Amino acid sequence: MIAYAVYVISMDGRPLVSETFQSAETIPNEMLLAGLMTALQGVATELSQGKSGLKSIKIDNLSYHFKSFGQYQIVLVTDLPETPENVLHRLGIQFMKDFGEQLIKDSLDLNTFQPFSDTINEIVREELTIDNSKMIIPTKKFSSGELYQLPSHLQPTALAMIALKEGNVEEIASESEKSIEDTVDNLESLQDMGLIGKKVTNDHVSYFCSF
Amino acid sequence: MKSLAILSHKGGVGKTILAVNLAIHLAAEGKNICLIDSDFHGPSILTFFTPKSEIHWINSFLTGESSLEECLQDLSNDLALSGKLLVAFADPTPESIQNVIRLDQNTSMKMLHYLMKMKSMLREEPYSIDYLILDCSPGTGFSTINVMVITEIILFMVKVTNADIIGTSHMIEGLHKQLKSRTKIIANQIPSDFLNDQTKKEHFQKLIENLLKKDLGDKTVDFMGWIPNDLDLYKTEFETAIKTLEGNPTRRMIHTLDKPDHIISKIIKELANNLFGDNN
Ligand SMILES: Nc1ncnc2c1ncn2[C@@H]1O[C@H](COP(=O)(O)OP(=O)(O)O)[C@@H](O)[C@H]1O
Ligand SMILES: [Mg+2]
Q: Looking at residue B70, which CATH number applies to its domain?
A: 3.40.50.300
B42 against A28, higher pLDDT: B42
Compute the distance between CA of residue A103 and CA of residue A106 in angstroms, rounded to an integer.
8
* Average pLDDT estimate for A12-39: 81
Nearest-Cα distance to chain B for A164, in Å, is: 8
Q: Where in chain A is the domain with CATH 1.10.10.10?
A: 144-209
**Whether the CB of B15 sits within 6 Å of ligand 1:** yes
B215 against A167, higher pLDDT: A167
pLDDT at A82 over 60: yes
Interchain contact B180–A (C-beta under 8 A): no
**Whether the CB of B195 sits within 6 Å of ligand 1:** no
CA A165 to chain centre: 16
Give the lowest-confidence range in A10-14, A175-179, B119-123. Answer: A10-14
Given a contact cutoff of 8 angstroms between Cβ atoms, the answer to whether A71 and A101 are in contact is: no
Interchain contact B173–A (C-beta under 8 A): no
CA of B224 to the centre of ligand 2 (A): 20
Provide the edge-to-edge strand list for the sheet that holds A204-208. Answer: A166-167, A204-208, A197-201
User: Tell me, what's the pLDDT at B207?
Assistant: 86
Q: Could you give the angle at which helices A169-176 and A180-192 cross, rounded to 10 degrees?
A: 100
Could you tell me which chain A residue has the CA closest to the CA of B115? A163
Going by C-alpha positions, the residue among B216, B213, B210 that lies closest to residue B178 is B216
**Type of residue found at A151:** P
Any idea which fold A3-127 has? Beta-Lactamase (3.30.450)
**Whether the CB of B14 sits within 6 Å of ligand 1:** yes
Q: What is the Cα Rg of chain A in Å?
A: 19
| Percentage of chain A exceeding pLDDT 70 | 96
DSSP strand pairing (A166-167 vs B85-88): unpaired
Question: Strand pairing partners for B38?
Answer: B136
User: Tell me, what's the pLDDT at A45?
Assistant: 66
User: Tell me, what's the pLDDT at B107?
Assistant: 87
Burial class (CB in 10 A: 0-12, 13-18, 19+), A127: middle
Given a contact cutoff of 8 angstroms between Cβ atoms, the answer to whether B155 and B8 are in contact is: no
Compute the distance between CA of residue A54 and CA of residue A75 in angstroms, rounded to an integer.
10
Indicate the top mutation candidate among B13, B133, B159, B254 to test ligand 1's pocket, ranked by most ligand atoms within 8 A of CB: B13
For A163, the closest of B105, B117, B146 (CB atoms) is: B117
Residues 120-139 of B with CB under 8 A from A: 120
Task: Tell whether omega for the bond before B126 is within 30 degrees of 0, i.e. cis.
Answer: yes
CA of B8 to the centre of ligand 1 (A): 12
Low-confidence ranges of chain B (pLDDT < 70): 214-215, 278-280
Compute the distance between CA of residue B73 and CA of residue B29 in angstroms, rounded to an integer.
19
Q: Which atom of ligand 1 is nearest to the CA of B18?
A: 17
User: Tell me, what's the pLDDT at B98?
Assistant: 87
User: Tell me, what's the pLDDT at B243?
Assistant: 92
Going by C-alpha positions, the residue among B76, B2, B34, B6 that lies closest to residue B268 is B6
**Whether the CB of B38 sits within 6 Å of ligand 1:** no
Is CATH 1.10.10.10 what the domain over A144-209 is classified as, yes or no? yes
DSSP strand pairing (B153-159 vs B85-88): unpaired
User: Tell me, what's the pLDDT at B277?
Assistant: 81
Chain A residues touching B120 at Cβ < 8 A: 163
Compute the distance between CA of residue A59 and CA of residue A65 in angstroms, rounded to an integer.
11
Compute the distance between CA of residue B274 and CA of residue B6 in angstroms, rounded to an integer.
15
Interchain contact B149–A (C-beta under 8 A): yes
**Whether the CB of B227 sits within 6 Å of ligand 1:** yes
Mean residue pLDDT across chain A: 88
For A147, the closest of B113, B117, B149 (CB atoms) is: B149
* Residue A210 neighbours by CB under 8 Å, 6+ apart: A2, A79, A80, A136, A138, A141, A197
* B139 φ/ψ sector (left φ>0, alpha ψ -120 to 50, else beta): left
User: Tell me, what's the pLDDT at B51?
Assistant: 87
User: Tell me, what's the pLDDT at A47?
Assistant: 59
Task: Tell whether omega for the bond before B249 is within 30 degrees of 0, i.e. cis.
Answer: no
What's the number of domains chain B is made of?
1
Question: Strand pairing partners for A200?
Answer: A205
Q: Which atom of ligand 1 is nearest to the CA of B44?
A: 18
DSSP strand pairing (B2-7 vs B73-74): unpaired
Angle at A28 between CA A24 and CA A34, to 5 degrees: 150
For B177, the closest of A142, A148, A163 (CB atoms) is: A148
* Average pLDDT estimate for A25-47: 74
Compute the distance between CA of residue A141 and CA of residue B252 in angstroms, rounded to an integer.
43
- Per-residue pLDDT tens digits for A109-126: 888 999 999 999 999 999
The pTM for the full model equals: 0.86
Interchain contact B192–A (C-beta under 8 A): no
Which domain, by its residues, includes B220?
2-276
3 state DSSP class of A144: coil
Q: Which atom of ligand 1 is nearest to the CA of B188?
A: 1
The DSSP 8-state label assigned to residue A66 in this structure reads E
Contact B110 A147 (CB under 8 A): no
